[in-house]
Amino acid sequence: MELPATAIVIAGASGDLAKRKLVPALDALFQQEKLGGAPLIVGTGRTAFTDEQFREHFSISAPFARRLFYHRHLKGLRQFIDTHGTFGRVVFFLSLPPSAYAATAQGIAAEGFGEKAVVIIEKPFGSDTASARTLNRNLASFFDESQIFRIDHYLAKEAVQNMLVFRFANSLFYPVWNSRHVESIQISALEREGVVERGAYFDKAGIIRDMVQNHLLQLLCLLTMEAPLTLRSDDVCCRKIDMLRAMRIDDCHRFQYAGYRSEHGVDPLSTTETYAELQLSINNFRWTGAPVFIRTGKAVHRRGTEIGVRFKTIPRLLFNEAGTIPPNQIVFKIQPAEGIILDIQSKVPGTDNTLSRSTMNFCYRDSFASAIPEAYQRLLYDVLRGDRTLFVNAQESETAWEVVEPVLDRGPVAMYEQGKLPESGLPVRWIDFDEYQGLCG
């Protein structure tokens, strides 16, 4: 689509996110001619840079570097941008601590950008329900909701977007996507590393705030929600909010890895969880009776995010008279390698009805020759197009906080060894996601 002339401002441009993700994503979009004609990219922050010093801060193409400028602080930014041309829209990416969002929004409004401004913020959107509401009210005092884009980068992953296609573009699965056929839903999001340099932030958050409230509840919504009337953002968002309102956390176990309290920035007496297991129920006609199990944490044995849908076992008839046939499973691999895996039973050739488990794999790397775009490329491009489908609105963010509010900072914290999973405290037979690592790996 034809995009208006756009100025893109990165507030906090000397930070790690801008260097690793934002500027490289904008460079890629520029090379694909998706930034519109003659875009202006301005970094701003407290660090004193010349334009050349700022450009040298990044590994980017030479033509894109010439579109890159730096202006220290927000004051005078409007005049600075006006000297470089006329722009129909100014997009602000707040690559800043969430505590600075409201003050920065006020500064942007004070500079007179008004209706031309689009503001992008990234999770966490608050630290609980009350703070999320306060943040949303503060932002709404300066900008209309249509001008605010809340990023959850998990939603831009191709494997996540493909879940809706898998569910609603294939009649094969729709009839069995309910608690009459599904035994349980299991979500596993694990990281091998500890908190590394994020100790000061993480110790105030914990894994439930950092992962469950946003990324993992979003995945669960897309997996379980009813079909939206259209793919317009308002319709998709309404379905996700309906799902969040139907969710309840029935059990929660918190853990902390040994040595966490010695990490830089962490309170020596911290009771913050670095690993959590939760059991949820979805109380609607489609999903009542099919429990949802979530586990997520740091400093375990591997890295990977998967969603497993385990179906109910078949009756003890025909091939299953002994009751030994395992249930069918569908595994969505979200990262690091994207794919969908279907477990089925098949007959071993040359035998008298000896059965063996087989897997049907759909692997992105094998099915598509082109490189999978990085999540921030998709998100930034959607902002430029005004497409809000992959973004979270104010009501959705607050409703997600309401789901996890009852378990925030509640209950004892057990210890576990680094490099190992804690012993599960939930009544679940976990899908062995480890055995799928060689598939689409």
CATH superfamily of 155-373+387-436: Dihydrodipicolinate Reductase; domain 2 (3.30.360.10)
- CB-based contact 377:221 (threshold 8 Å): no
CATH superfamily of 6-122: NAD(P)-binding Rossmann-like Domain (3.40.50.720)
> How many C-beta atoms lie closer than 10 Å to residue 329's C-beta?
20
Q: Where are the domains of the chain?
A: 6-122, 155-373+387-436
**pTM summary value:** 0.92
Q: What is the pLDDT of residues 17-63, one digit of tens each?
A: 999 999 999 999 999 989 877 899 999 998 899 999 999 999 999 99
Which of 57, 71, 153, 215 is labelled catalytic?
215
- How far is residue 191 CA from its own chain's centroid? 14
Q: What is the pLDDT of residues 198-244, one digit of tens each?
A: 899 999 999 999 999 999 999 999 999 999 999 888 999 999 999 99
Residues of the chain with pLDDT under 70: 1, 367-372, 441
Would you state the pLDDT for residue 367? 66
Would you state the pLDDT for residue 372? 66
- Residue 215 is among the residues annotated as catalytic for this protein: yes
Would you state the pLDDT for residue 284? 97
Average pLDDT taken over every residue of the chain: 92
